[in-house]
Structure 1
Amino acid sequence: MALASLGVSLNAHAATRDEQEKACRGDAMKFCSADIPDKDKITACMKQHKSELSPGCRAMFKPDNQSSGQSD
């Protein structure tokens, strides 16, 4: 499934690709199904909907080497 490639664009250090896919599969289908199988479009779509994503999926988008004072 094209969604499996989504993990490449996410925070690879925080979780394995399988964990990323499991965490975000439902959200990707809900918000970005029209963008599948284009991983770049899926990633952009998911970022646009970040505040609406499930907590587990949203965590995949947090950079592990940056901390800012901004809230998500």
Structure 2
Amino acid sequence: MTTSFTSRVRQAGLLLAFAVSLAALSARASFAFSAEAQQMCTGDAFRLCSAEIPNIPKITACMVKHRAELSSGCRSVMDRDLKGGRLAESE
């Protein structure tokens, strides 16, 4: 296996784990990300919080903790969702 192939397999695995996490998340009212948040924040979640995947409460807490480092689109969606009560921060 080449390093490139291994890297792609790992990245695909992380993407799948994150997608499954977000799907499970939608079933839990206290951690309901909007579809827009999922789209806008997936890259930031991988970049900043990949160690927390697939633990939804930890991903949420990590994203809130790293708010200043989020992309502007993700930050605005997260702020809106937090203000609207759609996201719950976790310890």
TM (norm. structure 2) is 0.55
The aligned amino acid for 1:44 is: A
* 2:39 aligned residue (11, 22, 29): 22
How many Å separate the matches in 2 of 1:3 and 1:56?
21
2:85 counterpart of 1:36: no
Contact 2:49-2:59 at 8 Å conserved across structures:
yes
2:54 counterpart of 1:2: no
Q: How many pairs were matched up?
A: 60
The alignment yields a C-alpha RMSD, in angstroms, of 2.3
Q: Which has more radius of gyration?
A: 2
TM (norm. structure 1) is 0.67
**Larger RCO: 1 or 2 (CA < 8 Å, sep 6+):** 1
More helix by share: 2
Gaps of 5+ in 2: 1-18, 86-91
Q: Deviation of residue 60 (structure 1)?
A: 2.1
Deviations 1:24-70 (A, max 9, x none): 000000000010111100000001100010011111222148xxxxx
How many Å separate the matches in 1 of 2:20 and 2:62?
15
Which structure 1 residue ranges, 4+ long, deviate > 2 Å from structure 2?
5-10
2:77 counterpart of 1:49: no
